Amino acid sequence: MRCWGLTDRGAVRNENQDSFIIEKVLDVNGDEVCVCVVCDGMGGAKAGDVASSIAAQAFINHVKEGLRSGQPRRELIGNAVSFANESVLLKARESEEYSGMGTTIVAGIADNKNAVIVNIGDSRCYHVNKSGIRQVTKDHSLVEDMIDRGEILREEAWKHPNKNLITRVLGTDLGTRFDIFEVELARKDCLLFCTDGLSNIVNPQELLFEIIHGGQIETAAARMMKIALGRNAPDNVTVVVLAE
């Protein structure tokens, strides 16, 4: 897998509370695996960027160890999120400054044929190919719950005033639940991981165009970032692209 990532504080925020890490790791069989994680932190002062950076690094470290020991990937990715959750909780207990901090997380373990994806919150993963774009993850948000209950249509969610209210966060509770997804990958398939700073202002069809038709895949992340910043991105923006 080839991989690219970018993050920017956006046009409004004074600091960037997003974090991302991409690493290529050799598993127990000596095969190359791409591991990526994207986090969108929240909390007062600089607590948000502390939460996101701790969670991202803890997740990556745990996955790398598990891949080298041959742990099954679905089990491994769940354990890695739990480890990241505990790591943020421990840091939050160190001082009042970090109390209550948390972060979203979306992450993946991928090779050329399969990917295992995990998420908490509203940072997303999309599966993209010439047939279209599909959101793999499901937002843990108030608006998503309203869609499930039939209170609003998905088409209305785009501009709903409460679209940024999330219902699950990593780092605030030992019992935080996460969702795991498995994706089969074919030749030239891509995975897009992003924070809501991108998905809230660049719609899926625009993302699809940039990845499939906008130019070389190597520059797709930069093109999507340019669109977000060109629309005066009100939030931090993080984009990660994995491609076969």
Per-residue three-class SS string for 103-145: ECEEEEEECCCEEEEEEECCCEEEEEECCEEEECCCCCEHHHH
The answer to whether the CB of 136 falls within 8 A of the CB of 204 is no
Longest dimension (CA), the chain: 50
Residues 6+ apart with CB under 8 A from 241: 3, 4, 5, 190, 191, 192, 193, 211, 217, 220, 221
Enter the tokens of residue 239.
């984009």
pLDDT of residue 45: 56
231 neighbors 225 (Cβ within 8 angstroms): no
What does DSSP assign to residue 213?
Answer: T
- The pLDDT score that the predictor gives to residue 161 is 67
CA angle at residue 184 from 52 to 153, to 5 degrees? 65
- Average pLDDT of each block of 10 consecutive residues along the chain (244 residues)? 96 94 95 97 82 98 96 97 97 90 97 97 97 96 80 71 83 92 96 96 96 96 98 96 93
pLDDT of residue 81: 98
Domains and CATH numbers, the chain: 2-243 (3.60.40.10)
Look-up of token digits 């948390």: 102
